[in-house]
Structure 1
Amino acid sequence: MVTMSSSVSSFTIAPLTFFFTIFLCIPLFALSYCKNPPIIFNFGDSNSDTGGLVAGLGYSVKFPNGRSFFGRSTGRLSDGRLIIDFLCQSVNTSVLRPYLESIGSTFENGANFAIAGSATLPKNVPFALNIQLMQFIHFKDRSSQLSSTGIEGLIGYDRFDDALYMIDIGQNDIADSFAKEGLSYLQVVDKIPSILAEIDNAIKEIYDQGGRKFWVHNTGPLGCLPQKLALAKNISSIDLDSFG
């Protein structure tokens, strides 16, 4: 488990360093042993969006999304569950509700700020990583305030310090650099430190808010995304593995 010292002045992150927090009760076989499910806050893009895009912008994500598990569309850009869903299951807690979902949501086990299409840059646009952090700070303030008055279904101030903070973002920064900006491979590589710097800033901001447990995802190979394979033209068989 990753922990930070109490002195924020000693808290530094090398640009290419990723921090992973691993709970002892993460494996599925240990589900029944996780007696005190953790509170989880997630920030990211479509890889972990559990309905934020639909709730925030009213976009329609229809069937067959959700067909392999939920049996209905849930706003996930997937036919089933996401990594964040499997994590919640493995630690014996309910799936995270989108922060922007105003109907039927409870936030006793955390909240999901991830929105499909989000990136780290540019900042201050919906729903960049720094905007998601602003939403979290607002959520923390309001939840702490209302919880102190006895309102149920929210998280008290002292429980934010022990929560798990997950960040799964950066894929769109890289993909858009190729697809929309037309940058070369080397130009995109040169851009990566600025992307990591925003994730670095996010961790420091959460640390200042009391967070001490972090799980930061790396991004997967873009060329293997079904979307990219479907849009690509003239793919040679030598460029594909046995799974296509």
Structure 2
Amino acid sequence: QSLNASLLSPYMDSLSESKFNNGANFAVVGSSTLPKYVPFSLNIQVMQFLHFKARTLELVTAGSGNFINDEGFRNALYMIDIGQNDLADSFSKNLTYVEVIKRIPSVITEIKNAVKTLYDHGGRKFWIHNTGPLGCLPQKLSLIQLLQKKDLDTYGCISSYNAAARLFNEALLHFCQQMKSELEDATIVHVDIFSVKYDLIANSTKY
């Protein structure tokens, strides 16, 4: 609202009902990078985008006006925010902390594959969020009876969950830096959501 912009249209909206001039939203609550090929993992969302782009350009070629054209897709901002559900799912399966950490490289690989696929299909501007403080989520804190009190930090968050989130974020930052050097004509912005959200919790009286 502060940007005076409309909400993004859900991808599932019919092209006959929405022109998607303001963008398309492929996000699904609970989505993750793994396992692959299940609704709606990251690679499925990328496949949906490729189908959406192909169909839209078909309509443009056929003379339908006001749809996003090839230049529009090339100049679009591609926002990616995923990975937290992968960590949460790992912990919910009672994997050890070490086992959860070992899964992080596979998650990063899926994000890398998604970015490179979008790049290969013309995407040049990427906005990539890291994951927030997983251990501060009320849903996770509701499980505290199953955890030892010593696993809580100063602000009442689950330390091991947040430690895993930080390691994931370090790997994601390294990936973004790597992509900046590999995809020289691309703009990749890494957004540190963890620090913003954790500061809100740690210094709540300021807000």
* TM superposition score category, shorter chain reference: 0.5 to 0.7
What is the alpha-carbon distance in structure 1 between the residues aligned to residue 139 and residue 66 of structure 2?
38
Which SS does the other structure have where 1:233 is aligned? helix
Q: Give how far 1:239 is off.
A: 4.0
SS at match of 1:161: helix
Where structure 2 has 5 or more consecutive residues not aligned to the other structure, the ranges are 157-200, 203-207
Q: Give yes or no for the alignment of 1:209 onto 2:88.
A: no
How far apart, CA to CA, are the structure 2 residues paired with 1:195 and 1:186?
15
Which residue, out of 20, 23, 39, partners 1:110? 23
Q: Secondary structure at the match of 1:101?
A: coil
Using the size of structure 1 for normalisation, the TM-score is: 0.58
**C-alpha spacing 1:240/1:106, structure 2 compared with 1 (3 Å):** farther
Q: How many residues align?
A: 155
**Larger helix percent:** 2
- CA contact 2:33–2:43 (8 Å) conserved in 1: yes
Residue 158 of structure 1 is matched in structure 2 by 71
Task: Name whichever of 190-199 and 223-232 sits farther off.
Answer: 223-232
| Residue 106 (structure 1) shift | 3.6
Query: What's the offset of the Cα at 1:240?
Result: 5.4
State how far apart, in whole Å, the 2-side matches of 1:184 and 1:207 are: 36
Partner of 1:124: 37
- 2:106 is paired with a residue of what secondary structure? helix
Could you tell me how far 1:227 is from its partner in structure 2? 1.6
Corresponding residue number in structure 1 for 2:96: 184
**Which of 1 and 2 has higher RCO (CA within 8 Å, sep 6+)?**
1
- Which sections of structure 1, spanning at least 5 residues, go unmatched? 1-85
* TM-score (normalizing by structure 2): 0.67
Give the % identical residues: 57
- For the 8 Å contact 2:31–2:85, the answer to whether it is kept is yes
Matched residue, 1:75? none
The match for 1:174 among 84, 87, 90 is 87
> Aligned to 2:86, what secondary structure does the other structure show?
helix
